[in-house]
Amino acid sequence: MPVWVGEVARSRRWRRNRLSISGCASKCIWSARSARFTRDTGCRVYFCDPSSPWQRGTNENTNRLLRQYLPKSGDLDSYDQAALDVIADRLNNRPRAVLRWHTPAEAFAAVHWNDGWDVP
């Protein structure tokens, strides 16, 4: 086996181990932040398993809706703030089944102003 093959293999293992350690550190930081968030707000935070999109239903649905306006391969720098605001307004005022056909804007207002609407 040529010497460089061993070097490449060691280099790949080193990078993989380094990435997994940095990923772990990142996960620990987010875990600590979520604990503080839960303590400060009373809202629980859940982390989904990697490569498990079925655990992130609302997130995946929102990503699908965003792709109607922003292609995955697109560059956000090509949009000005006014265009992004229009997209956000359309998505925030679009009824969602998970909110019993209320809009996210209505759900936010109900929770924020605590008007008694029971958000699912």
Using one digit for the tens of pLDDT, what is the confidence trace for 59-99?
888 889 999 999 888 888 889 999 999 999 999 999 998 88
**Residues 23, 79 within the same domain:** no
**Residues 38, 57 within the same domain:** no
In contact, 55 and 49? CB cutoff 8 Å: yes
pLDDT of residue 11: 47
**Residues 103, 115 within the same domain:** yes
The per-residue pLDDT of the chain, averaged, comes to 76
Q: What angle do CA 45, 49, 53 make, to 5 degrees?
A: 100
CA distances, 3 to each of 8, 13, 16, 52, 96 (Å): 9, 16, 20, 40, 59
Among 27-31, 36-40, 50-54, where is mean pLDDT lowest? 27-31
Split into its structural domains, the chain has a count of: 2
Q: Residue 18 belongs to what domain range?
A: 1-47
Q: Higher-confidence residue: 6 or 100?
A: 100
**Residues 3, 39 within the same domain:** yes
